[in-house]
Amino acid sequence: MSSVLDDIRRWKLWFPFFQVLIAAVSLYDCWLTLRFREVMLHTEQNPLGLWLIEVASGEVWLFLQFKAAGTLVVLLLLFWMFLRNLKRSEEHTSELQSHLNLVCRLLLEKK
């Protein structure tokens, strides 16, 4: 039971770090896109990204908006999954505690 609680505590500490890391990598990617926007039309290999740049007449703003929206969706989805799993883990822990309490009570009553 304590290992489950330790896992929950560990993820509570590390999850914000991973969220910030994903956001930082996305921001750095956007900065690189802006810095090298003159060559993006020739170097972008993602067909959707290339199409977005072509639609915007070689500008990268539409491309960056889609990248930002995608990053936001991923961060929100990860946060939702984290909260859902955290709730499930806490429910599982409380179930373990209640079963443990029941067993202890039964053992004490037998004495």
State the Cα–Cα distance between residues 86 and 52, nearest whole angstrom.
38
Between 65 and 46, the higher pLDDT residue: 65
Q: What is the pTM of this model?
A: 0.65
- Cα dihedral 97, 100, 102, 108, rounded to 10, equals -130
State the Cα–Cα distance between residues 33 and 105, nearest whole angstrom.
64
User: What's the confidence (pLDDT) of residue 95?
Assistant: 52
Neighbours of 5 (CB within 10 A): 14
Residue 90 has phi, psi (to 5 degrees) of -65, -40
- Cα dihedral 92, 94, 99, 103, rounded to 10, equals 140
- pLDDT at residue 71 greater than cutoff 60: yes
- How many helices (H) and strands (E) the chain has is answered by 4, 0
Confidence of residue 12 (pLDDT cuts 50, 70, 90): confident
